[in-house]
Amino acid sequence: MAERILMNEFKTLSQETWVNVELDKDNILAWEIALMIINPDSLYYGGYFRAEMKFPTNYPYSPPSFQFRRPLYHPNIYPDGKLCISILHTPGDDEMSGETAGERWSPVQRVESVLLSIISLLDDAECSSPANVDAGIMLRKDPAEFKERVSFDVESSKQDIPAGFVMPTHESTVKTPTAIKDDDPAFWVDSDDEDEGFGGSDTDTEDAGSQEEEEEEEENDDDDDEVQEHESDNEGEAEDQEMTGTEDDEEDGDSSNH
């Protein structure tokens, strides 16, 4: 299980620009790592800090170990390059140090989270319980001298940069957004073509056609009503004429009888 998880993590980290990872003699449980600080505001910007990570066979239930190859003068780094950092401590609460389980290692942690925590620790040292007491005192009392020591460590770390390796910079890792060309003639041609149908959808057109048909039907109904009324008038007139003719005939008969 540990080998499978670590192989997936190794492949993922191999795509990152801020870390260089290699296997030690093809052993998935032993990694050669180099951290590169690409934050221009960091005191450690431009450094190439080599380290080794070793993983237990029951990873991720137990934490890995981490050790810088070239020790840094830092309050939380021992003279041998090992770290004093909560995320690498065994799981569970620790009453002696006051660390809670949430601060320490847990099986949900991964290599990337460890490395990012270490990078954060470099510029945000914890001086209350230092691994290097002298470095902690210097950081508190003489920050300018401490910065000089950091600059020395950064320059020394550059000796470990592999031949032909291109160091990432802040500028090289920032993605430049693609500019949109508003003056593209094809853009306006396409817009004109699309605008020919602007002003109504197919549904609107169908609705308009339906409305016209309804209006025509109403007009036809009105015409039919008028025709029927006209026919009714004609029939009425014819009946009146018949009645009038009948009355005339009766009068003529009466006159003849007299």
Catalytic residues: 84
Question: Cα dihedral angle (238, 242, 248, 253), rounded to 10 degrees?
Answer: 170
Question: Cα dihedral angle (196, 198, 201, 206), rounded to 10 degrees?
Answer: -60
141 vs 146: CA distance, rounded Å = 9
Q: Around 236, how many Cα atoms within 13 Å sit in the side-chain half-sphere?
A: 6
Count Cβ atoms below 10 Å from residue 30 Cβ, excluding itself: 15
Count Cβ atoms below 10 Å from residue 221 Cβ, excluding itself: 10
65 phi/psi in degrees, rounded to 5: -110, 155
Q: Distance from first CA to last CA of the chain, Å, rounded?
A: 137
The answer to whether the beta carbons of residues 104 and 91 sit under 8 Å apart is yes
67 vs 28: CA distance, rounded Å = 17
Q: Show the tokens assigned to 57.
A: 């066979």
